[in-house]
Structure formats: C-alpha cells, structure tokens
Amino acid sequence: MSYEEVPHTADVKIRIHARTLEELFSDACEALMTVMYGTSRKGIMKREITVTSPHIDSLLLDFLSEILFISDVEGIVFSKAVVHIAGQNLSAEMEGEPFSKKIHAKGTEVKGISYTGLSIRHDANGYMVDIVFDV
C-alpha cells in the first residue's frame, strides 16, 4: 500500500500510488478507513460490494462512496478490500468488523468523496490518483 496525505486547505487530500488499478482501488479504501477510524481494524466479517460506472474515475468515486455509505449505515469498519475490475464493473471482497466507539473513534468524520481534481493517471510506473475526502 502506498498513500500519503498531502496538504489541502479544508479537507483531507490523499495521494495514492499503485502498480495495478485493483491495488489503487484497494489502497483508496485503506486510506479512507484509516482517515475515518485509525489503523486498528480486523477482518472478522466479510461483505461483497459491486459497483458499475461508465468511467474509471467515477468507478473509484462510486466505490468509495459505497464503502462510506455501508460503513455509516451498517456500522462496518473495513480492514481489507480485494478488488476485481472488468471494464465498467467492479466487485470487491471486503473484510471488516463492527464499529466500536472504544476502538474506532480516533479518526475524522468523512462526509463524502469529492470529484474535485479526481483523475486516475497511468504511466510506466503504475497508477496514481489524488482523492479529496470532504470532512
């Protein structure tokens, strides 16, 4: 996993580097969960997520938005995402655990994922994207 927080005026901006597109999406999930809940997360339950979107950038945004929604509504803190992408379709095998205020209340509330500046880039070294989490 290769991501870092980069300076941003009001929200949280994360820069992710990965060898493959699937790793980029998985690392984006890891970054989102770390911002929201810290690093103490276990994979004691499983959940599958599927998303379809016409563009790769919107596929990432929709994937992260779905994770955010499930986390908020169902109270699941994800620890791992194994992502498979085929064209416009994404499926992810997720691992996580129920939210515990005692364990997971160390992070920052994320209200949404921003399209601002979201553009997945690919070169000889792999993939890179900057993502802004609205806090």
Note the pLDDT tens digit of each residue in 1-41.
577 677 777 799 999 999 999 999 999 999 999 999 988 88
Does residue 117 carry a pLDDT above 90?
no
Assign 9 to helix, strand or coil: coil
Q: How many domains does the chain have?
A: 1
pLDDT at 1: 52
Give me the CATH number covering residue 43.
3.55.10.10
For residue 115, CA distances in Å to 29, 61, 112, 123, 133 come to 16, 7, 10, 21, 9
In this prediction the pTM is 0.93
Token digits of residue 13: 């901006």
pLDDT at 91: 98
Domain housing 28: 3-134
Note the pLDDT tens digit of each residue in 95-112.
999 998 888 888 899 999
